[in-house]
Amino acid sequence: MNKNIDILKARSYYYEFFAMPFFFYENDKKFKIWQEQLNELAKNPLSKECEDAFNELKKISFDEFKDEQNSVLFDLSYVNVPLSVSFYEEGRDEGAARLRVIEILKKSEYRRDLLRCPDSEDFVGFVFFLMMTFLRDEADSSNKESFADELFVRVINGFVDEFTQMILEHEKAKFFKFFAVILETFMALERSMQGVEAPVIDQSVQTPAQAALGRKPYKTKMPTVKSKIHWEEFSTI
């Protein structure tokens, strides 16, 4: 089935936009590129809620983003929002979801660059970037096989709702809450376009991620704040 090239490119652009905030950067070079993407996407928001979220994201500086990213995702004194797809499925990292991503990768010409992405294949940032790549290839060449639909159905669709909810519940999140509004709206659109149903979550039963965390993402588990930014603090642990 032929797909509209403009839609494919727009989807790939969104996935690139979603990937960047989950990688750690020492300086604002990548963040400035992301801000350019933000300004471009904000010209045609998916909803009024997205329009408001885009406007709020524009107000946030790199230093504010970096501090929040550390608090929500990397600060080792907190139970952070998990960034491994396997964690949402099994309550642990590098599980079956990683194997599924690797299986899809083996069908393609791509492999994870260990220098650029030391995290595993089911790392959220890597999965979003991979989705971007598959969609971009599909848009650029009608003769090139795309694995975007398979990656969405087998990997992204199952974890993204709980992932978004954990971001929205995090008391340190400001940037990421606005970000999550856009992510949530976009994923609903993705499902409608592909005819895919969202997984049904039994609210009366703990998910594997909830059971593994044992508490809300923002509850402290260490007596003092430790930061991913300063790894030397852990030399004696």
CATH of the domain at 214: 1.10.3480.10
How much is the pLDDT for 127? Answer: 96
* pLDDT at 65 exceeding the cut of 60: yes
- Confidence at 2, pLDDT banded by 50, 70, 90: low
Full domain range(s) for residue 129: 5-234
Question: How many domains does the chain contain in total?
Answer: 1
pTM: 0.86
**Cβ 124 vs Cβ 81: under 8 Å:** no
Per DSSP, the three-state class of 112 is: coil
- d(CA 25, CA 151) in angstroms, rounded, equals 26
**Cβ 227 vs Cβ 70: under 8 Å:** yes
For 102-124, what is the mean pLDDT? 86
How much is the pLDDT for 215? Answer: 57
How much is the pLDDT for 144? Answer: 65
